[in-house]
Structure formats: C-alpha cells, structure tokens
Amino acid sequence: MPTNLFSPFKMRGLTLPNRIVVSPMGQYSGDENGKATEWHLMHLGQMSVSGAGLLITEATAVQSTGRISKHDLSLFSDAHAEALAPAVAFCRKYGGAKVGMQLYHAGRKGSVTVAWEGQKPIAIENGGWPIYNASPIAFPGRVDPLEMNEAQIDETVRAFAAAAQRADRIGVDLIEIHGAHGYLIHGFLSPLSNQRKDKYGESLENRMRFALDVFDAIRAVWPERKPLGMRLSATDWAEGGWTLDDSVELSRQLKKRGCDFITASSGGATPDQKLKVHPGYQVPFAERIRKEASIPTMAVGLITEAKQAEEILVKEQADLIALARGVMFNPRWPWHAAIELGEPVYYPPQYQRAHPSMRGGDFLKPRADT
Ligand SMILES: Cc1cc2nc3c(=O)[nH]c(=O)nc-3n(C[C@H](O)[C@H](O)[C@H](O)COP(=O)(O)O)c2cc1C
C-alpha cells in the first residue's frame, strides 16, 4: 500500500513529489555582504538530490540591517539574487526537490557573530549595525534595538516583497515567511517584545498587523501559482508570551488571505522559555493549528524516524514533515526512509546504482506514475 510520506502534495500550481521537507538551516556562509558562495551550491545542491520533496533555504535576509550575522544569506539586492541563482539553477536541473526559500528579518537578534563563534553581539563601532524591533527591548545579552517607526515598518514590508520578486526571478517555487524564533515578525507578535501603544501593539489584532502586512505584500507580487506559507513559534513557552491560541487565530487570519501552509515551530522569544524537548515535541502544535484553522501544516522538531514521520501523517496531525538536524546528519535520509517503507524515490541518474537493488549493474526504472 502506498505510504503517506511518499505521496505527492499539491499546493496551488506546485506538486511536491513527497512529504519530506528539508527544513531551513542557517549556514552563515555568505560573503561579507551576505551573497551566496560555493557553500550554498554544495549545501542546497546536496539537499536537492537527497530524495526530499521540498528543500527550503536557510533564513534569507530581506534587509542588510535584518541579518543575524553579516554572513547570513541575503536577498536585499539584485546582485544578491545573481549570486544565489547558480545554486537554485543547479537544484532545478539536477534535483528532485522543489526549491523553497525562507525570507526573514532578524529584528532584535541581529548584529552578532556567526553561530560557531557564539553569536556574540557586535556594537556599531566594531562593525555591527543598528538593529530594530517592535519595541526597544533588548534580547538578553544582545545589542539594544531601536523601535521601528511607521516609515521603517513600511520600508521593511516593501523589502519582503522585493526579495520575493527576486526569488521568483531566479526560479524559487515556494516561500516560507519566517514568523518564528524571536526574529522581527515574532518580535511584533509576542507581548514579551512588543509594548507599542500604536496600531501595531497591545491587542492581538494589532500585534498581528505586521505579520499580516508582510504576508499581503508578498502575496500581491508572488505569482498566483506559487505557494506562500509562514513559520510560527506556536508558543513562547513563557508566561505572558505568545500562545498556541494566538497561533490558531493568526493561522485563521492567514488562511483567509490565501496562506497555503503553516510550519509549527516554537520558542526563541526569551531565554526564560520553559520547554521539554522530546521526539515530535512540536507535532501537537501542527495538529491543533491544522484542525482549528483548517490549513495544511508542516510538522518539525525531532522527527528522525521514517515510521514516526509516516505515523504523524496517518494520524492527520500534519501534511508535511520537515527535518533539519536529521537530514544534515544523513542527507540520504529520504532514500533510507523509502527503503524502510518500501517506496520508490528520486535518485539522480548519476547516483542510481547506489540503490541496493541495482547492485547487479542495472539502472532504476521509474514508477509508471512518476
Ligand atoms: C544548523 C541549524 C540552522 C537552523 N537555521 C534555521 C533557519 O534559518 N530558519 C529556521 O526557521 N529554523 C532554523 N533552524 C531550525 C530548524 O529548521 C528546525 O526547526 C529545528 O532544528 C528542529 O528540527 P530538527 O529536530 O529536525 O533539527 C535551524 C536548525 C539548525 C540545526
């Protein structure tokens, strides 16, 4: 019997060949200006031939002041798009995975060293840059952010749309807006980081305004046939913070505006978050959002086994399964999952003889319906 994990999934004009998604993973490997390098060709290239149905690029900055580190992959100019184009072209030419891109602004978490140098704050006089948030409340241990004024908010909304247009031009199939992990959009959503008194603060409706404006601005320029979704931190895991109920409400609002999927992540708004991590710990969030907002969801977070992934889909807790560390540890995870579940999966012709059944020297014969 065909499995759910290896069944196609259609959103608008895009059909993913299966439900396995390579989750965004920051590589901090852009050049000094955030332009893609050879690393991205290798990283995205290998994920595109992994057998996954979709890969989503790492968080890609829409403004230079919206970067975590100066080496974040960025798309705030046409030259940045040009630098990334060969990696996307490679994925489209050789890969089986559709190519998604995560767009983001780092908000109050910006201007730090790269992950493996400890994300230490960099002051402006040492080469850092001014960082922005809904309110001027620092993330503990980081640079003090400035409060965004309305003109800056509008400029940032336009920057998201401009980056989406560049992504379209280089052949990206899908966009995930990064509304999670304490970055700018989440900075507006969470009462822990948003204490504004204007139309972007206080009530839930007002705190959701920036996220919805970004969504609308991208949807207006992003081709109708291409899916657009949002990653949320479903809860802040902290008293007085953003809650799962809030996430359900935001997902309903997004659905009304044409959102195609919600990725249910969590946390990142405060170092005081109280969470217990265990296999599939965020799956219940994907399940509730899916049921109560009637929108497809992507589950992520310690999903490491093929049968675990299949069970989440069979139980209708989510529609898509994203892996980050598991697929970085083993970029052939989808191939192994396919063998375990007895399914065919994409191999580039160059690698077909790796399949255990081909050790006699044959080549894989594609299934009639693929
Ligand atoms: C190296 C690394 C980089 C990450 N970068 C991003 C990112 O750019 N955007 C994002 O939304 N999540 C990012 N994440 C979170 C993952 O996408 C994923 O949600 C998380 O690791 C849980 O999934 P996992 O248990 O399969 O690793 C990153 C995770 C890792 C390990």
pLDDT band for position 306 (cuts 50, 70, 90): very high
User: Is residue 357 over pLDDT 90?
Assistant: no
Burial class (CB in 10 A: 0-12, 13-18, 19+), 206: middle
* pLDDT tens-place string over residues 6-46: 999 999 999 999 999 999 999 999 999 999 999 999 999 99
Domains detected in the chain: 9-358 (3.20.20.70)
DSSP assignment string, 244-307? HHHHHHHHHHHHHTT--EEEEE---S-TT------TTTTHHHHHHHHHHHT--EEEESS---HH
Alpha-carbon span 204 to 13, nearest angstrom: 33
Alpha-carbon span 294 to 280, nearest angstrom: 21
Q: Are 133 and 144 in contact (CB under 8 A)?
A: no
Cα of 314 to ligand 1 centre, how many Å? 24
pLDDT band for position 359 (cuts 50, 70, 90): confident
The residue count for the chain? 370
Q: Are 106 and 64 in contact (CB under 8 A)?
A: no
Q: Which two tokens stand for residue 48?
A: 């595109």
DSSP at 138: P
Catalytic residue flag (residue 281): no
Q: Are strands 9-11 and 14-16 parallel, antiparallel or unpaired?
A: antiparallel
Q: How many CB atoms lie within 10 A of CB 257?
A: 11
Cα of 23 to ligand 1 centre, how many Å? 6
The pLDDT value given to residue 308: 98
The pLDDT value given to residue 131: 97
Query: H-type helices in 2-97, by residue range?
Result: 38-48, 78-94
**CA 181 to ligand 1: nearest atom:** 11
Residue among 183, 200, 346, 347 flagged as catalytic:
183
Alpha-carbon span 64 to 334, nearest angstrom: 35
Cα of 136 to ligand 1 centre, how many Å? 27
User: Is residue 368 over pLDDT 60?
Assistant: no
Which residue type occupies 300? V
Q: Ligand 1 atom 4: the closest Cα is on which residue?
A: 25
**CA 180 to ligand 1: nearest atom:** 11
pTM score: 0.97
The pLDDT value given to residue 366: 57
Cα of 96 to ligand 1 centre, how many Å? 22
The residue whose CB lies within 8 Å of the most ligand 1 atoms, and thus the one to mutate among 22, 25, 183, is 25
Q: Ligand 1 atom 30: the closest Cα is on which residue?
A: 25
Strand partners, 22: 55, 323
Q: Ligand 1 atom 6: the closest Cα is on which residue?
A: 25
User: Helices (H), strands (E): how many in the chain?
Assistant: 10, 12
The pLDDT value given to residue 365: 66
Q: How many CB atoms lie within 10 A of CB 368?
A: 5
